[in-house]
Amino acid sequence: MKYTKLLSPAKIGRLELKNRTIMAPMSAALGNPDGTVSDPLIAYLTARADGGIAMIITEYCFVTEEGRSSDHQISVTDDGKIPGLRKLVDAVHAHGAKICLQLQHGGRRSMVKVMAPSAIMKQTDRVKPYEMTTQDVYDLIDAFIAGAVRAQKAGFDMVEVHCSHGYLLNDFVSPSANRRTDEFGGGLTGRAKAPVMIIQGIKEACGADYPVSVRLNGEDMVSDGNLGRDSAALAMLLEEAGADLIDVSGGMNGVGYGIAPAAVRTGYNADPAEEIRKVVNIPVAVAGRINEPEYAESLLRKGNVDFITLGRALFADPDFVNKAAAGLEEEICPCVGCLQRCYGSYGHGGQFRGCMVNPFSMRETVLKLEPAQSPKKIVVVGAGIAGMEAAWTAAARGHQVELFEQGSYPGGQFKIAAIPPHKQMLARACVYYSKMCKKYGVNMHYNTRADRALIQSLNPDAVIVATGGDPLVPGIPGLKESGYIANREILLGRIAPGSKALILGGGLQGAETADFMAEHGYEVTIIEMREAIAMDDHPATQKLLLERLTGNHVQMITSATVKQVFPDGVDYEKNGRMESLRGFDSIILAFGTRSNNALAQELEGLEDAQVVVVGDAVKAGNAVEAIYQGAVLGAGI
């Protein structure tokens, strides 16, 4: 596809950009604890600059010490921060991109001093914030302006005023948080006065030609918050103050779609961005689940936005733009909207965020694909995600890799996980891993069961066993005689008899199978031993999943231990009492996975070859762990 709009040059004020792509300001949690710029942060951002992005907007940078929102956040509070910021600017410029510093104060989301325009708790807790005085607001305005001056001294091409996501300036402009009766409250002009004065002050201090962007919620997505029409009116005031770009996002305080899982529609901020674009004469950028270049191009061709702000798509693949330009769409590592590593448990290194599908993201200094000093012949067994990740990364380093898969297609359990509602991008990930294997010369053998004899005949230096897992079948009385159906059989196309289904296990597998079956008209009940359904999912994903289950009248029984299974139901214990469920046409088993390491046992004592087991074949776990293990193995073997 020809990306005639996406790759065309454009201007923000007098700042010229080589194309219409902007990297969204997303926290990588890579700053030093004292707020200075670190080498890992520079490496992370320069990788995206190398990847073809026209301009990088840094993660939020706090303008006052009391405005810090998180550990490892960068700072612009004093002149001592300028040298590190200058080092970042010079590095990004050297790699072909412009760079903008985002100025921010945490407000109600501060980790130092919780403060707000009014003493109103945010929607996600019951912490009363300090209500700012009028003088406090003037001091805040001065701090933002001073931060912009430091950014200009450090060489940043532009600054962005953060006025979204429930941080302090968002609280000022949103009626949901601002009940002030002084000059910074009341109607829309009063609520907008703080950011208006900040923009005016930056222009006066840095020069009328120094570009200023405002990150603005298209919609706040909270009760009594701004809607698209309100944000359009705000944008007019911000333009009049001197803003050169409106960078549209959405949601506040972790409510709404500020962090959008896969169940949220693509481009969910596009409609309010279009409302804003109709009333201003400056460019408008839009972010929000724009994960494929084809869709980005379509938004630009409509003519209602001028720039595409790419967020988690660049977590997943720093080379997103270059690959699109080269027509290599299937080689783009896709954001699947899982939230598992970018906004879930960081894992694998403590403070680091990351990407489930791309474990190299935000680990540019510690996890690298470097040429192998001594190329090996490697056999990989299993074309699931752990096996393919290990295979292509090893091959990319120069190893000769043979991959064997007993099935007909790649993907393993990811292929099954892609079937429930809103999970299609997992299939896209399977295509990506397979494509990378082919690109780097992995010999893919399908419909082939690898055993000891076959592997020995190849005389490998190393064998990677990635045979995954099988359904876990616990020893509950009556289960084996009940005629149960494993949940993966349902997802792979087996039609359960009747119309009433009882799903044993309410983890992610059981919940998503219930979602799938309810969508197809089954009357579904889930029974789960733990206190909630889909507890291992990210809260934002879990929330939408539970809403769908509730909307489809799925009955959910939690804190219940199944004691006996029958062909039409179960006996279970809850709160010390025995209960019964009967009248079901099918029993669906979703208790998770157990390791399939039979091949590893078969290969014990194999001479002259290193045998390594990865993914579920080692221990039943999740995709985050499986892909990470595959990457570390491929990078180090």
* Catalytic (active-site) positions: 167
Q: Which two tokens stand for residue 289?
A: 């689940």
Closest CA to 353 of 34, 361, 31, 336: 361
Sheet of 377-381, strands arranged across = 443-445, 400-404, 377-381, 462-465, 610-613
Q: How would you label 36-66 residue by residue, b for 16+ Cβ within 10 Å and e otherwise?
A: bbbebbbbbbbbbbbbbbbbbbbbbbbbbeb
Q: Rounded CA gap, 620 and 632, in Å?
A: 18
Helices (H), 10-103: 39-50, 82-94
Q: Rounded CA gap, 132 and 136, in Å?
A: 6
Q: Which two tokens stand for residue 592?
A: 């998770």
CA angle 287, 290, 292 (to 5 degrees): 150
Cβ pair 266, 286 in contact under 8 A: no
Pairing of strands 15-17, 10-12: antiparallel
Quick check: helix, strand or coil at residue 526?
strand
DSSP assignment of 367-423, as one string?
S-----SS--EEEEE--BHHHHHHHHHHHHTT-EEEEE-SSSSSBTHHHHHTSSTT-
CA angle 24, 26, 30 (to 5 degrees): 135
Residue 408's Cβ-count burial label (10 Å; 0-12, 13-18, 19+) is: exposed
Strand partners, 16: 11
Q: Which two tokens stand for residue 448?
A: 């082939």
- DSSP 8-state symbol, 281: S
